[in-house]
Amino acid sequence: MTVLILGGTAEARDLAAQLHERGVDVVSSLAGRVTRPRLPVGEVRVGGFGGVEGLTAWLRENGVQAVVDATHPFAERIAANAFHATQAAGIPLLRLARPGWQPTEDDRWHWADDLEEAAALLPGLGSRVFLTSGRQGLAAFADLDPLWFLIRCVDPPGQPLPRRHEVVLDRGPYRLDGERALMTEHDIDVLVTKDSGGAMTAAKLTAARELGLPVVIVRRPPRPSAPETADAAAAAEWVLNQ
């Protein structure tokens, strides 16, 4: 059988490896937004499909028998396209999604529905911001001139950016001692992130907790209703049962 994995995440790479070992033809699709992505085993395609119609046609032309959406929790467009395309093509869809983060009683979390709301919360929480929401959507923070930002992303961000900022290019997984040192060195007093979930980037939350810093967290956008699992092994079994 041929399976399409909409990937770019560690979970997607794990699933591709498990299916490849069991003789399944896997095609992993990456959005192409990162310059040097970590590649999964098996066939890889990079770039979009041309919306719902393009993805529907591609699924049919390539004889795909199942689709696993293992994209980032904030990849709204491809998630919606995958749902509608698999419905149109009559192909089963599974969502492989890591659980979101959960606060402890010692955390000082402030939830926001989007980056704009996150930016609006900042002036009342701190003046030196560790911004780890990725390189897209940074325009939401561009007008906060009194605040200073340490912006971390994988690839260089585009304009506009906050007037007072420093950019650090890095890729997870991150270690607790490194996150703690980074925040201390730059006198960070508030952290901004998206609820990406998973262990690869969770150390910043632990460091913020230890340092007593407030954290602004952007909630995950809603996804179309589909069967879902958080476990790559369970996703592999689901594929083999289609």
Q: Tens-digit pLDDT profile for the chain (242 aa)?
A: 899 999 889 999 999 999 999 999 999 999 866 667 788 999 999 988 999 999 999 999 999 999 999 999 999 999 999 999 999 999 999 999 999 999 999 999 999 999 999 999 999 999 999 999 999 899 999 999 999 999 999 999 999 999 999 999 998 899 999 999 999 999 999 999 999 999 999 999 999 999 999 999 999 999 888 999 999 999 999 999 99
Alpha-carbon distance 85 to 96, whole Å? 17
Task: Give the predicted TM-score (pTM) of the model.
Answer: 0.90
Angle subtended by helix axes 176-185 and 203-211, to nearest 10: 50
The three-state secondary structure class of 135 is coil
Alpha-carbon distance 118 to 107, whole Å? 17
Does the CA dihedral 185-191-194-196 come out positive or negative?
positive
Alpha-carbon distance 26 to 140, whole Å? 38
Tracing tokens 């059988």 back to the chain, one arrives at 1
Q: Which helix (H) or strand (E) holds 16?
A: helix 10-21
Domains of the chain: 2-98+222-240 (3.40.50.720), 108-218 (3.40.50)
Strands 108-112, 93-96: pairing kind: unpaired
Q: Quickly count: other Cβ atoms within 10 Å of residue 138's Cβ.
A: 23
Cα Dmax for the chain? 57
First to last CA, the chain: 9
Closest CA to 132 of 146, 149, 116: 149
- Kindly report whether the peptide bond that precedes residue 173 is cis, defined as omega within 30 degrees of 0: yes
Distance of CA 219 to the CA centre of its chain: 12
